[in-house]
Amino acid sequence: MPLLCLILAGGKSTRMGEDKALLFDSVNTLTDILTSRDCRVIVACGGEERAGLFHAECWFDPDGSTSLGEVIHAFVQQHDEEIQLFPCDMYNLDKEAIEAILTQPPGVPIDMHGQDQFTLARIPQRCNLHISKSLKHLFSELDRNQMGSLGGRLENFNSPNQIEHQNKSNR
């Protein structure tokens, strides 16, 4: 059975000022990379009105959900298989980093700064997660995977300044 990858692309990006899921066509690019590795890809896209933005199967936020923790919990409850999360806003993920993430054991990656990267968690098959709005609490029972060797490739982009810096360094 192929690994189920859930791309998280439905959040509001108030700090960024624009839809992070659409920047750099990151969701569709990541979908293509994951499907080329024989993964099953689903995009947690928020609402039904966003489904046409992505060329993968879409999953919609449950009614009444108010946090990413609630959305992930609901998704895990509906899917029995092992699940690999990917955020839509890690624009530095390259093929080597994606491969490392795909081969990690179930758990939460720890980046080069010692920070938990919850949105890259590998959730074990038939996992019974806590019900929580907090990702820290949701994944509190999962092991931690040291992935500091991936450096800045595990950076989430949350502000326009990061995009400007990224664009300058790509010149």
Contact 112/151 with Cβ under 8 angstroms? Answer: yes
Q: How far apart are CA 145 and CA 150, in angstroms?
A: 12
- The CATH code belonging to domain 4-169 is 3.90.550.10
- Whether 142 has a pLDDT exceeding 50, the answer reads yes
Q: For residue 96, how many other CB atoms are within 10 A of its CB?
A: 10
4 three-state secondary structure: strand
Domain ranges for the chain, please list them.
4-169
pLDDT tens for each residue of 82-134:
999 999 888 889 999 999 999 999 999 999 999 999 999 999 999 999 888 99
Q: What is the pLDDT of residue 1?
A: 75
Query: In this predicted model, which residue has the larger pLDDT, 93 or 4?
Result: 4
Query: In this predicted model, which residue has the larger pLDDT, 12 or 10?
Result: 10
Q: How far apart are CA 152 and CA 141, in angstroms?
A: 26
First to last CA, the chain: 41
Number of helices (H), then strands (E), in the chain: 5, 7
Q: How far apart are CA 9 and CA 67, in angstroms?
A: 13
Contact 143/105 with Cβ under 8 angstroms? Answer: yes
